[in-house]
Amino acid sequence: MQFGIIPVNIGIQSLAQMTGLAQLAEQVGMESVWTFEHVIVPIDYESKYPYNNNGKMGVSPETNLVDPLIALAAIAASTNTLRLGTGVNILSQTNPLYLAKQAASLDMLSDGRLLLGLGIGWLREEFVAMGTPFEKRGARFDDYCAAMRKVWSGEVVEHESEFLSWHGFKSFPIPRQSPLPVIIGGIKGKIHERIARHGDGWFAPTGDPKELREHLDLIKAQCDLVQRDMSEIEITCMWTGSGGEAAVKALEDCGVHRLVVPVMALGEDPVAGIKKFASDYVS
């Protein structure tokens, strides 16, 4: 079982604070650090956050949300082996060619350490601010996933769709990893089909074994439909650290490969919390 922490880019006050947490995670044997993404936080919004009962994010509009790829580039430069995960970037609202370029560049410069977590998005107000239609965001996500892989291939890109018209170009550098791991985050809608078709992994916003098993069965069914081996899909899930070693074993038995622990679950002092967590769980 591998372990990571999340997020390393929110509430950050300095470069030294952010890279220091990442360096500590590497020193104590953690495998990865992860980011969250929101370009904006509206003062008020009608959209419902799907992973909180009150429908609201747990950050204020004044909270520092450092851009994930900029944060991970800084962390890449100050660490050696730590995997760099986005948990998750909102693909459907961004320019996929620009994101493909950024991701390939980061993977090359980090010597193949990027775990590119991608999601569809839920915050309509953010899509409006980004100038991107909120409607058809699922179809746009699927199309962008397929198109970005063409960019990363190093071959001449040809991709004509409802959303994109890409023809006759190449984009270098290409990722160091082949394939660059695309980890699809979420638990709603057509997530199981999307993981089977486009994902190298699933980022699950839950650490409940029963809920995970139900979703994994649905992913397996979709893999069977497209004749894909379920074992190719790496499972990452959020975990609060509760339940001790028995909880770790239960999640491992479900097929989970990586547990990502929220920094806020480690106590008021994140440095002490990371050290204690590592002594308890990281071999």
What tens digit of pLDDT does each residue of 170-187 get?
Answer: 999 999 999 999 999 999
Task: Give me the domains of the chain, ranges plus CATH numbers.
Answer: 2-281 (3.20.20.30)
Q: What is the mean pLDDT of the chain?
A: 97
pLDDT score of 194 more than 90: yes
DSSP code per residue over 114-154:
EEEEEE----HHHHHHHT--STTHHHHHHHHHHHHHHHHTS
| Distance between CA atoms of residues 266 and 177, nearest Å | 32
| pTM to 2 decimal places | 0.97
pLDDT score of 33 more than 90: yes
pLDDT of 80 reads: 98
pLDDT of 263 reads: 95
Collapsing DSSP to helix, strand or coil, 156 comes out as: coil
| Cβ pair 230, 202 in contact under 8 A | no
Kindly state the tokens that stand for 80: 């050696």
Which range, of 114-123, 131-140, 192-201, 241-250, averages the lowest pLDDT? 241-250
pLDDT of 52 reads: 86
pLDDT score of 283 more than 90: no
What tens digit of pLDDT does each residue of 52-66 get?
Answer: 889 999 999 999 999
pLDDT score of 91 more than 90: yes
What tens digit of pLDDT does each residue of 145-159 get?
Answer: 999 999 999 999 999
DSSP state of 53: T
pLDDT bucket at 90, cuts 50 / 70 / 90 = very high
What tens digit of pLDDT does each residue of 237-281 get?
Answer: 999 888 999 999 999 999 999 999 999 999 999 999 999 999 999
pLDDT of 271 reads: 96
pLDDT score of 234 more than 90: yes
